[in-house]
Amino acid sequence: MKTIKGPAIFLAQFMGQEAPFDTLANLAGWARALGYEGIQLPTDPRLFDLDIAADSQTYCDEIAGVLAEHGLAVTELSTHLQGQLVAVHPAYDTLFDGFAPSHLRGRPQARQAWAVEQVQAAARASRRLGLDAHASFSGALAWPYLYPWPQRPAGLVDEAFGELARRWRPILDAFGEAGVDICYELHPGEDLHDGVTFERFLDRVGGHCRANILYDPSHFVLQQLDYLAFIDIYHERIKAFHVKDAEFRPDGRQGVYGGYGSWLERAGRFRSPGDGQIDFTAIFSKLAQYDYAGWAVLEWECCLKHPEDGAREGADFIRRHIIGVADRSFDDFAGSGADRAALRSLMGIDS
């Protein structure tokens, strides 16, 4: 068995204009002071130049060196925003335009081509950094039709997943060439948001070995999916892990859909680790059982707690849940050490 690595922290929610959140070096010092050992690094130009990193080993070595000075490692790169732009339904064009550089806004086809190039570049940058996993979103073409009213025309979902697979297949092949797994965060708003949709996609990309999962149980609580059984089913494809809590408290007025409420007002909402309903003891146990060898990464999203408090508490929370796995069975002291002849004798079988 393998011991999960960590604690680590995803930096996307902490970037800012003021120190210590303004530069990678400052964020690294801040994270290390809180007790983190790794960072999941967004490919945001404020922290990391993906275009340079894809083709420059020197630049990647410099980034790794900045983190090593603080005793940190990169766990994964993240292209959540670029992955989202690989597939955007026209209903969301305006809202997602802000994820792209200004010169691409209002130009959906050019924006998509840029997004594909960006995620492919992340494969090369990940290889230069010595990483074996990468975090992203799938994007969505079918999401506006999630609820089957009006009735979905026959073939709509199949066509959407066929197109999604067509767009992602060359990206997956690029990750194959780089020897890196792309881990889709299964997330509402993405066409890949649960096990069934992941299976639909996996089937359309021919079971591609680089198509894997970033496991984040908070999204499953909000969907009322069994997040522990999910690990039993998909553990072979889980190659990244976000530690993020959530709670679901329906009442007589609202449930899963939340009544268009703010995060504070919804029945289902994200919380800092330990403040929600998720059984992380069971999650860490299952991941250890199935030899998950990756990192446990805090993703802070909470509608109540201050982010710096969440980050400070998160390092200790993850460390307390990581299981240092056993190197022998607990009952080895009582082992009989019988050879094959003795084993057959125990069963009354003549040698």
Q: Where are the domains of the chain?
A: 5-346
* 92-117: average pLDDT: 97
pLDDT at 345: 83
- Residue 154 pLDDT > 70: yes
| Cis peptide bond N-terminal to 20, omega within 30 | yes
Q: Is the dihedral of CA 47, 98, 180, 212 positive or negative?
A: positive
pLDDT at 351: 60
How would you class 348 by CB atoms within 10 Å of its CB: exposed for 0-12, middle for 13-18, buried for 19 or more? exposed
Q: What angle do CA 41, 316, 29 make, to 5 degrees?
A: 45
pLDDT at 258: 96
* 209-218: average pLDDT: 98
- Residue 339 pLDDT > 90: no
pLDDT at 238: 98
Q: How confident is the model at residue 342 (pLDDT cuts 50, 70, 90)?
A: confident
* 153-174: average pLDDT: 98
Q: How confident is the model at residue 329 (pLDDT cuts 50, 70, 90)?
A: low
User: Which alpha helices (DSSP H) does 135-252 contain, by range?
Assistant: 156-178, 195-204, 217-223, 227-234
Tell me the C-alpha distance between 94 and 88, whole Å. 10
Secondary structure class of 306 (helix, strand, coil): coil
Q: How confident is the model at residue 344 (pLDDT cuts 50, 70, 90)?
A: confident
**Considering only CA atoms, which of 60, 84, 69, 205 is closest in space to residue 137?**
84
| 244 close to 214: Cβ distance less than 8 angstroms | no
Tell me the C-alpha distance between 43 and 137, whole Å. 13
Q: Is the dihedral of CA 166, 168, 174, 179 positive or negative?
A: negative
- Residue 73 pLDDT > 90: yes
pLDDT at 79: 98
Secondary structure class of 86 (helix, strand, coil): coil
Secondary structure class of 46 (helix, strand, coil): coil
- Residue 124 pLDDT > 90: yes
- Residue 336 pLDDT > 90: no
Supply 298's token pair: 């805090």
How would you class 342 by CB atoms within 10 Å of its CB: exposed for 0-12, middle for 13-18, buried for 19 or more? exposed
Counting residues of the chain whose pLDDT is more than 70, the rounded percentage is 98
* 205-217: average pLDDT: 98
Tell me the C-alpha distance between 180 and 210, whole Å. 7
Other Cβ atoms closer than 10 A to 186: 24
Secondary structure class of 190 (helix, strand, coil): coil
Q: How confident is the model at residue 303 (pLDDT cuts 50, 70, 90)?
A: very high
Q: Which amino acid is at 3?
A: T
Q: What is the CATH number of domain 5-346?
A: 3.20.20.150
**Considering only CA atoms, which of 198, 204, 50 is closest in space to residue 115?**
50
**Considering only CA atoms, which of 58, 192, 201 is closest in space to residue 138?**
192
Tell me the C-alpha distance between 196 and 116, whole Å. 24
Which residues contact residue 67 at a Cβ distance below 8 angstroms, ignoring those fewer than 6 apart? 24, 28, 39, 73, 74
- Residue 194 pLDDT > 70: yes
- Residue 197 pLDDT > 80: yes
> What is the torsion angle, in degrees rounded to the nearest 10, for the CA atoms of residue 93, residue 95, residue 77 and residue 322?
-130
Secondary structure class of 209 (helix, strand, coil): coil
pLDDT at 334: 62
Tell me the C-alpha distance between 159 and 210, whole Å. 22
Q: How confident is the model at residue 330 (pLDDT cuts 50, 70, 90)?
A: low
Out of 127-131, 219-223, 331-335, which region has the weakest mean confidence (pLDDT)? 331-335
pTM: 0.94
